[in-house]
Amino acid sequence: MGIANIHALAATRNNLFGLQPDAPSLFNAKDKTSQQWLQDLGFSVNRTDAEHWVITYNKPLPELHFYSERELEQFASYKAHHYAIQQP
């Protein structure tokens, strides 16, 4: 049990990672810290539009889509490390 589990909600169809909107981010998106953290964990971060990022891990699928900087920060802060460990 760690910080990744403290703010997690149950996953739903509209919130697959169980991200809690009011949880504080551990990163500052303005200096791209969350994107660097994801890259350091082995994720590929591709910004496809002004508010759309596609994240992959070691292979093309699955693709994880995020539609705001806040979603991306929340994933980097609370779920990315766990997700990276779970992937083969």
| Domain-wise residue ranges, the chain | 1-21+48-88
| Structure tokens that stand for 43 in this block | 């994720």
pTM: 0.67
> Which whole number is the average pLDDT over 22-30?
59
What distance in Å separates the CA atoms of residue 48 and residue 25, rounded to the nearest whole number?
22
% the chain with pLDDT above 70: 61
What distance in Å separates the CA atoms of residue 68 and residue 77, rounded to the nearest whole number?
14
The residue behind tokens 């995020």 is 66
Beta strands in the chain (DSSP E): 43-49, 52-57, 64-66
Sheet with strand 64-66: strands edge to edge: 43-49, 52-57, 64-66
**What is the per-residue pLDDT for 11?**
66
% the chain with pLDDT above 90: 8
**What is the per-residue pLDDT for 55?**
92
- Residues 39-66: pLDDT tens digits? 889 999 998 988 888 999 988 888 999 8
The residue behind tokens 């070691």 is 58
For residue 30, what pLDDT band results from cuts at 50, 70 and 90?
Answer: low
